[in-house]
C-alpha cells in the first residue's frame, strides 16, 4: 500500500481483505457464467457485520459513519470481489433510518442487521422518465388502510433477492402540485407478500451480473403503515439516499481502480518480452503511473464527500463530483490494465475482463456523467439549464 492511499479504518480494511480472500476469482467467474446471485458471499458479509455498519448500535449495527462504509466497499472491489449484490442495503437503509417511524425502525432494522431481512431493492427509475425522477408515473392511490400501486419500474437490481424494497411513487398527480418534486411518497414494500399479488418481476439480462429486473405493479396493495415519513415529501427523502449512494459507488470505483493498477503493475514487473520486463518500457509504465495519479486524486474527493456527509453538511455537489471523478479514474485504469495485459486481458482466468465490464457501468449508473456535468454547470456555476 502506497503512502498516498487511504489508511482510515485499518482494522476494517484488513478484516474485509481476509473475508474476500475466501471468494477468489474462480467463485465470481462461476457466478458470472450462470448469472447467479452470490448468496454465500452476501451471507458471509452479513454475518461479519459489514452490511450493518451504518445501523445504530441500538438496532444491532455498528453505528459507524459513511466513511467506514466506503472503506468496506473499496476493499471488496480491490480484492476482485463485487459489492453490487448488496451495496444497496447500506444506502437504502438510510431512508428507513432517517425517515421511518420509531415503530418501523424497531420492526425492521434489527432484522436487517442480522440478515433475517434483506433490504437491497431501490425502486425509482422508470422506462419513460429515466433519471428525471419528477416525471415518474407509478402511482399509489389511497384506499382505506392501503395504498394501491400501479405502474412500472426498470433497472431495479436485486429485486428477486430482497425481502424489502424502498419504492418511490406518486401520491398526487404532477399537474396538481405546486412544484414538480412535490406529491411523491416512499413506501416500504414487503416483496415476500407482493410478488404474485400485484407485483411481477421480469429479469433483464445485461453485460454484468447485477440481477437487474423490470417491475410491473398491477393494483398492488401496500399497507398505509408502510409509508416512510410524510406523504408527498418522498422526493427529498430519496435525495438523501442518493448522496450516500453516489459516495458509496465512488468508493467501489476507487477499489476497482486499485485492482486494475495492482494487477497491471504486477504483470508489468513479471512479464518479460525481448529479454526484459515490459514495465521497463515507458509505453507501459507511464499509463500505469497516470492511472495511479488520477485515482489518488479521485480518492481524495471521495474522502471529502464522505466526511461532509457524516458531518451532516450539504454534499450533493461533492457526492456527484466524487462519483464522476472516481468512475472516470477507474475506467481509465481498466482500459490501461487491458492494454498492459494484451491478449491475456481478454482471458476470463485473469479476471480483468470481468472487472472491466463491471466498472464500465459507473459511467452510466446510478447517474450519468452528463447529468453530473449539468448539475455542476447549473447549480454551481449558475449557467442556464440546457435542453
Hey, where are the domains in the chain?
A: 10-114, 119-232, 236-380
Name the CATH superfamily housing domain 10-114.
Acyl-CoA dehydrogenase/oxidase, N-terminal domain (1.10.540.10)
Q: HEC states along the chain?
A: CCCCCCCCCHHHHHHHHHHHHCCCHHHHHHHHHHCCCCHHHHHHHHHCCHHHCCCCHHHCCCCCCHHHHHHHHHHHHHCCCCHHHCCHHHHHHHHHHHHCCHHHHHHHHHHHHHCCCCEEEEECCCCCCCCCHHHCCCEEEEECCEEEEEEEEEEEECHHHCCEEEEEEECCCHHHCCCCCCCEEEEEEEHHHHECCCEEEEECCCCCCCCEEEEEEEEEEEEHHHEECCCCEHHHHHHHHHHHHHHHHHHHHHHHHHHHHHHHHHHHHHCEECCEEHHHCHHHHHHHHHHHHHHHHHHHHHHHHHHHHHCCCCCHHHHHHHHHHHHHHHHHHHHHHHHHHHHHHHCHHHCHHHHHHHHHHHHCCCCCHHHHHHHHHHHHCCCCCCC
Using alpha carbons only, give the angle 251, 253, 256 rounded to the nearest 5 degrees: 115
CA 266 to CA 21: how far, in whole Å?
18
pLDDT (0 to 100) of residue 7: 78
pLDDT (0 to 100) of residue 180: 92
**What stretches in the chain show pLDDT beneath 50?**
none
State pLDDT tens for residues 135-158.
999 999 999 999 999 999 999 999
Pick the catalytic residue from 245, 252, 353, 358. 245
pLDDT (0 to 100) of residue 387: 62
- Class in CATH terms, 236-380: mainly alpha
- For residue 314 the three cell numbers come to 450539504
Q: Do domains 10-114 and 236-380 have the same CATH topology?
A: no
CA 315 to CA 66: how far, in whole Å?
13
Active site residue 11: no
Bridge-partner residues for 143, per DSSP? 146
Whole-structure pTM value: 0.95
Nearest Cα to 334, choosing from 287, 266, 278?
Answer: 287
- For residue 336 the three cell numbers come to 490501461
pLDDT (0 to 100) of residue 241: 84
State pLDDT tens for residues 313-359.
999 999 999 999 999 999 999 999 999 999 999 999 999 999 999 99
- Class in CATH terms, 119-232: mainly beta
Amino acid at each position: 500500500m502506497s503512502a498516498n492511499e487511504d489508511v482510515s479504518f485499518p482494522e476494517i480494511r484488513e478484516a474485509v481483505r481476509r473475508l474476500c480472500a475466501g471468494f477468489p476469482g474462480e467463485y465470481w467467474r462461476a457466478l458470472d457464467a450462470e448469472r447467479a446471485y452470490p448468496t454465500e458471499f452476501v451471507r458471509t458479509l452479513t454475518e461479519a457485520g459489514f452490511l450493518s455498519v451504518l445501523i445504530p448500535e441500538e438496532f444491532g449495527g455498528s453505528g459507524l459513519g459513511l466513511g467506514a462504509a466506503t472503506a468496506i466497499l473499496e476493499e471488496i472491489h480491490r480484492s476482485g470481489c463485487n459489492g453490487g449484490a448488496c451495496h444497496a442495503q447500506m444506502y437504502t437503509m438510510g431512508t428507513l433510518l432517517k425517515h421511518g417511524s420509531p415503530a418501523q425502525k424497531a420492526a425492521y432494522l434489527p432484522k436487517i442487521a442480522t440478515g433475517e431481512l434483506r433490504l437491497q431493492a431501490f425502486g425509482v427509475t422508470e422506462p419513460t422518465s429515466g433519471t428525471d425522477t419528477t416525471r415518474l408515473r407509478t402511482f399509489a392511490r389511497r384506499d382505506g388502510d392501503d395504498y394501491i400501486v400501479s405502474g412500472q419500474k426498470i433497472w431495479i437490481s436485486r429485486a428477486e433477492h430482497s425481502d424489502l424494497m424502498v419504492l418511490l411513487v406518486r401520491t398526487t398527480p404532477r399537474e396538481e402540485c405546486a412544484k414538480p418534486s412535490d406529491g411523491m411518497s416512499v413506501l416500504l414494500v414487503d416483496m415476500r407478500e407482493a410478488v404474485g399479488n400485484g407485483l411481477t418481476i421480469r429479469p433483464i439480462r445485461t453485460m454484468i451480473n447485477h440481477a437487474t429486473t423490470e417491475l410491473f405493479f398491477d393494483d398492488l396493495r401496500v399497507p398505509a403503515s408502510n409509508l416512510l415519513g410524510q406523504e408527498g415529501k418522498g422526493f427529498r427523502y430519496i435525495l438523501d439516499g442518493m448522496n450516500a449512494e453516489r459516495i458509496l459507488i465512488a468508493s467501489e470505483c476507487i477499489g476497482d481502480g486499485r485492482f486494475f493498477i495492482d494487477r497491471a503493475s504486477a504483470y508489468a514487473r513479471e512479464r518479460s518480452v525481448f529479454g526484459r520486463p515490459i514495465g521497463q518500457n515507458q509505453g507501459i509504465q507511464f499509463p500505469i503511473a497516470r492511472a495511479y495519479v488520477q485515482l489518488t486524486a479521485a480518492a481524495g474527493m471521495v474522502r471529502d464527500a464522505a466526511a461532509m456527509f457524516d458531518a451532516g453538511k450539504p454534499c450533493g455537489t461533492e457526492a456527484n463530483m466524487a462519483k464522476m471523478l472516481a468512475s472516470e479514474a477507474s475506467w481509465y485504469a481498466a482500459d490501461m490494465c487491458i492494454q498492459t495485459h494484451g491478449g491475456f486481458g481478454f482471458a476470463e482466468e485473469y479476471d480483468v475482463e470481468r472487472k472491466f465490464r463491471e466498472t464500465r457501468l459507473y459511467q452510466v449508473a446510478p447517474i450519468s456523467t452528463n447529468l453530473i456535468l449539468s448539475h455542476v454547470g447549473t447549480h454551481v456555476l449558475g449557467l442556464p439549464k440546457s435542453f
